[in-house]
Amino acid sequence: MCGIAGVVYKDGKLHSVGADMTRMLHALQHRGPDSAGFAIYGGLGLEENDYLLNIEVKDKPGLLDMVKETVELVSPIGSDEVIPSVENHIIYRCRITLESFSQLKPLIMDIDSIDDVIVLNGSHSFEMIKDVGSVLEIADRYDTWSKKGTHAIGHTRFSTESIVDRYHAHPFQSYIIPDITVVHNGQITNYWKIREPLERKGHIFETNNDTECIVHYVADKLASGYSLEEALEQSVKDMDGPFSYIVGTPQGVGIAKDQLGLRPGVMAENDEVFAVASEEVSLREVMDTSEVEQISPGEVRVYEI
C-alpha cells in the first residue's frame, strides 16, 4: 500500500501548496494509516547560507540545552521554536548559518550522537514535516494548511518494513546534494545490491529502509552529472521489485514506476499545475481530472520549474 503524491505550480510562484498537499494526502489516507509526511519547497525564504534543522528531543531536563550547545559550536542559532509533540518528545526547530553545505551532515551526526536525540532533517529550500498519525492530525499539529510553496511531495505510510516512528516516516532525504527528498510505495528487492556500492563511495545510511536507498541512489546520479530524468530512467533499469516513487528537488518533481507496473501511479496537468499521485482521487483535490494519464510500466515523468 502507501500513498504518494506530488504537485508543482508551473509559474514558480508561491501558492497554498501545503493545503493542497494536505488534501491530496487525506484523499490517500486509506492507503496508509501509520504516518504521513510532506516536503514543501520554495516557501522558507532563507538567506543563501541558512538552514533549518528539525530535531526530535526527548522531553527531559537539560537535554534541549545540550542540543543547543552542540549546534552553537558550529553556528549561532538565528531563530528557534519548540513544537509540543507526542510520546514524551518535542520537536526543536532552529535556523542556523553555515559556511558551506558540506558542514551540514557532520553537524547532524554530532547532534545525533546525543542520547535520546535524532535529527529529522536539515534543509535550505524546503520544509519537511513528518510524524506518526493521520494526515489531518499531522496537518493540525504542524499547521500544514498555511504553508506556502512552489511545489511539494507527500506520503501516507502503511509500514511493511522497519519501525513506525516519525524518523522512519517519509519523505527520506540525502545530504549528498542539497535538498533532495523521496516518497515511495513498494519494495526494492535488490536493496543490498543497490546499497553496497553507494556505501563504498562514502554514502552514510541511517536505516535499513529501502526508501533511503532510493534517495541515495538518485542523489548519487545527480551528483555525477545525470539530469533528474536520466537518473530516474537508470533507476528503473537498476532496481528490482514493485515500486513507484516520487523525487522532490528545488527545481521540481519526478516519478518513476517499476518495469512490471506493479505499483500505481497517475498524473494530470493543466496550464497551472502538474500533479502525480497513487490514485486519481488525490489528483481531484487540485485540478479537473477529465484527462488523467496512467504512468506506464517502466515510465518516468519529470516536471521542473
Q: What does the CA dihedral 163, 128, 172, 111 come to, rounded to 10 degrees?
A: -80
- Of the candidates 114, 145, 179, 132, the residue with the CA atom closest to the CA atom of residue 23: 145
Residue 261: is it exposed, middle or buried by C-beta count within 10 angstroms (0-12/13-18/19+)? middle
Cα four-point dihedral sign 186, 189, 191, 197: negative
Query: How many other C-beta atoms lie within 10 A of the C-beta of residue 57?
Result: 22
Supply angle C-alpha 82, 83, 87, rounded to 5: 120
- C-alpha torsion sign, points 238, 242, 244, 248: negative
- Provide CB contacts within 8 A for 11, sequence distance 6+: 272
Name the residues annotated as catalytic: 2
**CA-to-CA dists, residue 269 to 272, 289, 290, angstroms:** 8, 9, 10
Of 80, 161, 178, nearest to 121 by C-alpha is: 178
CA angle (86, 92, 95) in 5-degree steps? 155
